[in-house]
Structure 1
Amino acid sequence: MKYPIAFILSMSAAGAWAHSGHGAAGFGAGLLHPLLGLDHWLAMLGLGLWSRAAGVPRQALVTVGACLALGAFTRLALPLVEPLLAASVLAAGLMGLGAARLPARLGLVLAGAFSLVHGHAHGQEMAGAAAAAGAICMSMGLMALGWLAAGQARLERVAPALVAVLGAGLLALA
């Protein structure tokens, strides 16, 4: 395919907010859920890319997982969830691009805030603790995948830039 980015962008408009798993129960449904929403998997990949480039220890990302759980299980009332989800994708990509200039603690605070919103979105869309736990596990796995990808020289700048561009597109659609 000659223009894969154009293809991804054209497909993202319809699928960005079309998460399956609305009311789905069970750990397996939860594992699948983050993979079916472009905003969710891009944000988690972006945070993983940023964390490695910024030198944030993998263990610090457990804090991000705790924020996911907090958002999913406490049923917080958050306004403007969809625009916040899109903004988190854009910000995660920008964080990856400027990893050396962003203090790690500030980045972790931002990552926690993003994760709170994503956890909230998952919690609202899914039924039961098992499904939410599956979504949290997959989200952490996507962050780990981003962390691993950041170790590849070819992906270090291209991947965060792609996340940022797609995030800007999602925000324009929100």
Structure 2
Amino acid sequence: MISASTKRSTLAAILLLAAAMPAEAHVGAGAISSFAAGFGHPLSGLDHMTVMIAVGLWAALKGGKAVWVWPLAFLGVMLVGAALGMLHVPLPFVEPGILASVVALGLLVALAVDLPVSAGVAFIGVFALFHGHAHGTEVPENAGGLEYMAGFAAATALLHGLGIAAGLRLGLRFRSMARAAGAACAAVGVGLAFGVL
């Protein structure tokens, strides 16, 4: 049986995905052909930083295999999305999906939603596809674009690692602090959706 908190967080994520306005945070975002530019991009925006750290926090709260499976799933699916974007394969709702990811992953951490590892992979994978696609459509289809995505993936892994480290460090004793960070992530997503941030 699905708990009430899981139902609420799933409903909130669906509603926000349907209602979110495009962030337009990705098109024309500066240099897109070097490893350094790719590495710097996730560190330059609240949407990227909060989602990547939230994935790590949520994985740490879950524990076990999720600590490494969920971040790797995000990275892998993000790179698939980037390849689709580079090949100009259309994907609907990319920008609203990115905004919804900030809110939904924040809520998952804030509510400490305990999904099975495979369900978490599926949930994370959907959002990773949007993040990857947004950046894949921006980069050139050459070695410079591949360098950019390699840098982007490295920074994403670093941010996941920071989230995991923070979550594990806070541990059970300070679990409420990790959950508060999730709530802050969700608030950032709402602020971005409504143009406040």
**TM superposition score category, shorter chain reference:** 0.7 to 0.9
The separation in 2 between residues aligned to 1:132 and 1:101, in whole angstroms, is: 31
Match of 1:74 among 84, 109, 122: 84
The separation in 2 between residues aligned to 1:38 and 1:148, in whole angstroms, is: 19
SS in 1 for 2:194: helix
1:84-106 residue CA offsets vs partner (Å, 9 max, x unmatched): 11100001111112334333321
The separation in 2 between residues aligned to 1:146 and 1:16, in whole angstroms, is: 26
- TM-score by length of structure 1 reads 0.81
Paired position in structure 1 for 2:118: 105
1:35-63 residue CA offsets vs partner (Å, 9 max, x unmatched): 11221111111111111101113144222
- TM-score by length of structure 2 reads 0.73
The separation in 2 between residues aligned to 1:87 and 1:69, in whole angstroms, is: 19
The separation in 2 between residues aligned to 1:51 and 1:57, in whole angstroms, is: 5
Paired position in structure 2 for 1:133: 150
The separation in 1 between residues aligned to 2:119 and 2:110, in whole angstroms, is: 15
Paired position in structure 2 for 1:157: 179
The separation in 2 between residues aligned to 1:34 and 1:16, in whole angstroms, is: 15
CA-CA distance at 1:18 after TM superposition: 6.4
Matched, 1:64 2:86: no
The separation in 1 between residues aligned to 2:107 and 2:119, in whole angstroms, is: 14
1:110-146 residue CA offsets vs partner (Å, 9 max, x unmatched): 1111111111112123331110111011111111111
The separation in 1 between residues aligned to 2:183 and 2:131, in whole angstroms, is: 21
Query: How many pairs align?
Result: 160
Paired position in structure 2 for 1:166: 188
SS in 1 for 2:92: coil
Gaps of 5+ in 1: 1-14
- Structure number with bigger Rg: 2
The separation in 2 between residues aligned to 1:38 and 1:119, in whole angstroms, is: 16
CA-CA distance at 1:68 after TM superposition: 1.0
The separation in 2 between residues aligned to 1:106 and 1:98, in whole angstroms, is: 16
Judge which range, 153-162 or 125-134, deviates more.
153-162
CA-CA distance at 1:166 after TM superposition: 0.9
Q: Percent identity?
A: 35
RMSD, aligned α-carbons: 2.3
